[in-house]
């Protein structure tokens, strides 16, 4: 369907054949879904990360650090069809290498788990024994539909079934293991001889999990990286996952700490549906240095007490010296907010990376300042350095701190990744991953060309990023400046939403207290100009304008013949005249999928509705774009505009999209449209 051409007449037989071919290709793809990660390259990583999870420069995926009471998740981003062979869950195989580094000489905690679940998100999940997947209210509920293999390093939640802290367990819908054994492996060439595997502190550990969908058997094998795969699994249990899993599941890992803590790493991962997963290449796996736990004893404590007064005196002298040195040398003292933010780069390193912020390295300019391309040897990658310039130093610092606070902790494949920052006197700099294809607006308007397939995927990517901001992160994030110039396009033509200088955060279930009007003309929701209160729906409005902009190849407000032509009103006019495809970007030259174009234009009008209560949520938007639900605006419009005008208008009036504009009063052409459209509630 992606290669079909829109024309005046569409041959129904050709369309049906194309749909059949698409269905067959998707079916064959689902039969052999597989992926392999021999280490995790941050620049190419497409995993869905949440919580404390980050990718280290070495390529190791760290689920949690040694902080207490934290949770980390890492999931393959696409759902896996588990029932493509009928009513029985499909066979699968997965191989991964993990490493657990305890925080002290005592046992750490609490372990990690491989998980198959209906969603990569676990609302209200708790740390500790619940491993970031369950909580006391849903633990053990059959409605969870979760299969989990845990690699635990403390005594289990249920002491009677998980007596050994160093154990492997198979769990269904809760943290009570239906089967559990101490971590060990069978030595090749011997009978019933087992060697213990210390899950934490010993080094990298391999795990194989294999499910036979025909015989309904789960095999779990665990053994050190230096050892070949044992001849028999540690556990082989009869379990029918057909009664546990839903149709589409997400595969990934969860880890948690509690009163005790450890760093939990995944070094490599492979997976295959209906087949054997590819073995990982140990020579390509990243290395995690084993941290030696700190130790203390009575003698050390006594020595510390005896020298406390001397140490205190030295510290006071050093503090006075540092303060004097910084005052004389004009070094800045870190403020409180700076201590909790991501990596701080040295100004001299950024200056060198951008060749002294040379004009030839400049890749973008905006109201905030300029963006420069640079190469940082410290991380071995290209970066984009955003240099903020503000006439109001206090406001500039607020926006700078807001962007670090929000973007610095967000991790999603459709959001720009913040590498770090720098504050040197009045220079405020943010360091991002370099996105080579520039911004969406430059590709739309400045000589570039985007196919319809690329445009449609970009719009879905932005929607996925906004859904993460609104509903799937720890707090609600309102972007407040969604527009085409803030959407960057990477090497794979995937969208990454950036520029969080105006973003605001608040807790789920609370209301935003933001009351000042900010944003870009053409994308600002009408209620924002009246009450000045930003919300999820103001982001949805701006996204609706973006939908229309990408489909039509026109800016939200175009000045033509001394008049302001408002994009939304222009699309409504085309629809009321009976052929919405008149609004489509001429550069596409009819090379688009008609049904998708109808969807994007109709959804753009719905999202940019003057009344916020009519607009859909970003979760609903993504369902429309993915084809999971039908957009209520259209049944199907004729590509030739043969539907009667009153039929089309009735659809508009049913949703209130036409507002005060009626077919009897609409008589102005696009060329004579005035800015009075702003007065009707669109801006």
Residue whose token pair is 């943290």? 175
Decide: residue 92, CB within 10 A, 0-12 exposed, 13-18 middle, 19+ buried: buried
Q: Which of 119-133, 182-196, 277-291, 655-669 is predicted with the least confidence, judged by mean pLDDT? A: 655-669
3-state SS class at 338:
helix
Q: In the prediction, which pLDDT does 156 show?
A: 60
Tell me the C-alpha distance between 210 and 229, whole Å. Answer: 13
Q: Which fold has domain 336-433?
A: Phosphorylase Kinase; domain 1 (3.30.200)
Asked whether residue 189 carries a pLDDT value surpassing 90, the answer given is: no
Looking at residue 12, what is its pLDDT?
A: 43
- Rounded to the nearest angstrom, the gap between the alpha carbon of residue 223 and the centroid of all alpha carbons in its chain is 32
Of the CA atoms within 13 Å of residue 468, those in its CB half-sphere come to: 24
Q: Model confidence over 100-156: pLDDT tens digits?
A: 998 765 567 889 999 999 999 998 999 999 999 999 999 999 999 999 999 998 876
- Mean pLDDT across the stretch 159-173? 74
The token pair that represents 572 in the structure block: 């409504």
Strands 235-238, 217-224: parallel, antiparallel or unpaired by DSSP?
antiparallel
Phi then psi dihedrals of residue 497, to 5 deg? -80, 130
Using a 10 angstrom Cβ sphere, with 0-12 exposed, 13-18 middle and 19 or more buried, the burial of residue 340 is exposed
Rounded to the nearest integer, the mean pLDDT of the chain is 79
pLDDT of res. 316: 82
pLDDT of residue 578: 77
Residue 641: pLDDT over 70 = no
Q: Please check whether residue 429 is in contact with residue 385, taking contact to mean a CB–CB distance below 8 angstroms.
A: yes
DSSP of 356-386: TT-GGGEEEEETTEEEEEEEETTTTEEEEEE
Measured CA to CA, the distance from residue 677 to residue 565 in angstroms comes to 9
Sequence-separated (6 or more) residues with CB below 8 Å from residue 381? 43, 375, 433, 434
Identify the residue with better confidence: 41 or 406. 41
CB 233 within 8 A of CB 221: yes
Map residue 474 onto helix, strand or coil.
Answer: coil
Question: What would the mean pLDDT of 194-203 be, rounded to a whole number?
Answer: 87
275-300 pLDDT per residue, tens: 999 999 999 999 886 555 444 444 54
Q: How many CB atoms lie within 10 A of CB 646?
A: 10
CATH 3.40.50.2300 fits 440-680, yes or no: no
d(CA 481, CA 498): 9
Q: For tokens 């009626």, what's the residue?
A: 662
Task: Return the bridge partners of 546, or none.
Answer: none
**Per-residue burial over 7-17, b = 16 or more CB atoms within 10 Å of its CB, e = otherwise:** eeeeeeeeeee
Angle between helix 308-329 and helix 298-306 axes, rounded to 10 deg: 60
CA distance linking residue 261 with residue 251, whole number of Å: 24
CA–CA distance, 541 with 475 (Å, rounded to integer): 21
**Which residues are known binding-site members?**
387
Q: What mean pLDDT is predicted for residues 373-392?
A: 79
What is the fold of 35-284? Jelly Rolls (2.60.120)
Q: pTM of the prediction?
A: 0.49
Residue 115: closest CA among 20, 246, 250, 223: 250
pLDDT higher than 90, residue 81: yes
Query: What residues form DSSP beta bridges with 372?
Result: 362, 385
Partners of residue 19 on adjacent β-strands: none
- Contact in structure between 439 and 390 (CB atoms under 8 Å): no
Average pLDDT over residues 174-197: 85
Q: Which of 175, 186, 272, 195 is nearest to 235 (CA)?
A: 186
CB of 100 within 8 A of CB of 266? no
Asked, as a colleague might, if the bond just before 110 is cis with ω within 30 of 0, I would say: yes
CA-nearest of 400, 390, 385 to 355 is: 385
Enumerate the CATH 3.30.200.20 domain ranges in the chain, comma separated. 336-433
Query: Cα-flanking dihedrals φ and ψ of residue 457, to 5°?
Result: -65, -35
pLDDT value, residue 169: 95
Confidence of residue 57 (pLDDT cuts 50, 70, 90): confident
Q: Helix or strand or coil: residue 274?
A: coil
**pLDDT value, residue 580:** 83
370 Cβ neighbours under 8 A, 6+ residues apart: 357, 362, 364, 386, 387, 389
The torsion defined by the Cα of 100, 101, 103 and 109, in degrees rounded to 10, comes to 10
Residue among 652, 599, 605, 606 at smallest CA distance from 628: 599
Please, where in the chain does CATH 2.60.120.200 lie?
A: 35-284
Interatomic CA distance for residues 237 and 190, integer angstroms:
22
Of 614, 620, 582, 617, whose CA–CA distance to 598 is shortest?
582
Residue pair 627/600 in contact (Cβ under 8 Å)? The answer is no
Can you point out the beta strands (E) in 552-659?
557-560, 563-566
Residue 98 pLDDT exceeds 90: yes
Among the ranges given (84-98, 238-252, 286-300, 537-551), the one the predictor scored with the smallest mean pLDDT: 286-300
User: Which of 48-62, 395-409, 532-546 shows the lowest mean pLDDT across its residues?
Assistant: 395-409
Higher pLDDT: 322 or 530? It is 530
SS3 state at 471: helix
Query: What stretch(es) of the chain map to CATH 1.10.510.10?
Result: 440-680
Residue 679 Ramachandran class (φ > 0 left, ψ -120 to 50 alpha, else beta): alpha
Residue 629 tokens read as 């639900």
Phi, psi of 257 (to 5 degrees): -115, 175
Residue 276 has what pLDDT?
95
The binding site for ATP comprises 387
In angstroms, rounded to a whole number, what is the distance separating the alpha carbons of residues 87 and 243? Answer: 10
- Active-site residue set: 481
Q: What angle do helix axes 594-607 and 618-625 make, rounded to 10 degrees?
A: 170
Q: What digits encode the pLDDT tens for the residues 210-237? A: 999 999 999 999 999 999 999 899 999 9
> 531: pLDDT confidence band, cut at 50, 70 and 90?
confident
* Mean pLDDT within 654-667: 40
Q: What is the pLDDT of residue 163?
A: 46
Pick from 311, 586, 321, 238: which is nearest to 444 by CA? 586
Predicted confidence band at 636 (pLDDT cuts at 50, 70, 90)?
A: very low
Region of residue 175 (phi > 0: left; psi between -120 and 50: alpha; otherwise: beta): alpha
Give the three-state DSSP class for 286. coil
- Where does 418-557 have alpha helices with state H? 440-445, 452-467, 526-531, 536-552
Query: Has residue 592 got a pLDDT over 80?
Result: yes
Strand pairing class (476-478; 418-424): unpaired
Contact 470, 463 (CB under 8 A): no
């Amino acid at each position: 369907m992606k290669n079909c051409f829109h024309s005046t007449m569409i041959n129904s037989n050709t369309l049906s054949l194309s749909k059949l071919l698409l269905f067959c290709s998707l079916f064959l793809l689902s039969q052999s879904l597989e992926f392999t990660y021999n280490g995790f390259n941050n620049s190419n990583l497409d995993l869905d990360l949440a919580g404390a999870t980050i990718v280290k420069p070495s390529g190791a995926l760290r689920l949690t650090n040694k902080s207490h009471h934290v949770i980390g998740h890492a999931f393959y981003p696409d759902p896996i069809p588990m029932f493509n062979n009928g009513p029985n869950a499909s066979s699968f195989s997965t191989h991964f290498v993990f490493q657990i580094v305890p925080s002290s000489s005592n046992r750490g905690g609490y372990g990690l788990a491989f998980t198959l679940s209906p969603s990569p998100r676990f609302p209200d999940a708790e740390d500790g024994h619940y491993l970031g997947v369950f909580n006391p209210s849903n633990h053990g509920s059959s409605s969870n539909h979760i299969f989990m293999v845990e690699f635990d390093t403390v005594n289990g939640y249920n002491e009677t079934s998980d007596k050994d802290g160093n154990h492997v367990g198979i769990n269904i819908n809760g943290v009570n293991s239906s089967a559990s054994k101490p971590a060990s492996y069978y030595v090749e060439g011997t009978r019933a001889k087992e060697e213990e595997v210390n899950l934490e502190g010993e080094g990298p550990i391999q795990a194989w999990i294999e499910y036979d969908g025909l015989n309904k058997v789960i095999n779990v094998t665990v053994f050190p990286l230096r050892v070949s795969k044992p001849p028999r699994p540690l556990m082989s249990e009869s379990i029918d996952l057909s009664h546990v899993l839903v149709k589409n599941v997400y595969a990934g890992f969860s880890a948690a700490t509690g009163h005790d803590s450890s760093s939990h790493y995944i070094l490599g991962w492979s997976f295959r549906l209906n087949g054997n997963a590819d073995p990982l290449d140990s020579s390509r796996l990243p290395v995690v240095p084993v941290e030696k736990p700190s130790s203390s004893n009575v003698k050390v404590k006594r020595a510390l007490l005896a020298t406390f007064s001397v140490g205190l005196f030295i510290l006071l002298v050093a503090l006075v010296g540092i303060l004097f040195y910084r005052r004389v040398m004009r070094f800045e003292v870190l403020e409180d907010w700076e201590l909790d933010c991501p990596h701080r780069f040295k100004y001299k390193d950024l200056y060198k990376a951008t060749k002294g912020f040379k004009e030839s390295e400049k890749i973008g300019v905006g109201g905030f300042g300029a963006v420069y391309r640079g190469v940082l040897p410290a991380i071995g990658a290209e970066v984009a350095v955003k240099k903020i310039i503000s006439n109001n130093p206090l406001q500039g610092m607020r926006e700078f701190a807001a962007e670090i606070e929000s973007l610095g902790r967000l991790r999603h494949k459709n959001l720009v990744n913040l590498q770090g920052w720098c504050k040197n006197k009045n220079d405020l700099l943010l360091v991002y991953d370099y996105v080579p294809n520039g911004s969406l607006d430059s590709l739309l308007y400045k000589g570039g060309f985007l196919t319809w397939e690329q445009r449609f995927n970009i719009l879905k990517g932005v929607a996925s990023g906004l859904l993460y901001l609104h509903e799937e992160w720890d707090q609600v994030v309102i972007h407040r400046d969604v527009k085409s110039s803030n959407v960057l396009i990477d090497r794979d033509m995937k969208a990454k939403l950036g520029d969080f200088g105006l973003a605001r955060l608040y807790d789920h279930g609370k209301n935003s207290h933001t009351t000042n009007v900010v944003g870009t003309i053409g994308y600002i929701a009408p209620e924002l100009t009246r009450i000045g209160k930003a919300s999820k729906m103001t982001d949805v409005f701006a996204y609706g304008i973006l939908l229309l902009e990408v489909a039509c190849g026109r800016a939200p407000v175009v000045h033509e013949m001394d008049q302001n032509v408002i994009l939304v009103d222009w699309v409504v006019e085309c629809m009321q005249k009976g052929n919405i495809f008149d609004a489509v970007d001429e550069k596409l030259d009819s090379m688009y999928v008609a049904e998708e174009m109808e969807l994007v234009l109709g959804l753009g009008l719905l999202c940019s509705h003057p009344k916020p209560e009519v607009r859909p949520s970003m979760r609903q938007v993504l369902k429309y774009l993915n084809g999971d639900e039908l957009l209520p605006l259209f049944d199907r419009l004729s590509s030739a505009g043969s539907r009667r005008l009153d039929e089309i208008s009735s659809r508009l009036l049913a949703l209130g999209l036409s507002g005060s504009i009626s077919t009897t009063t609409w008589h102005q052409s696009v060329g004579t449209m005035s800015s009075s459209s702003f007065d009707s509630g669109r801006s």
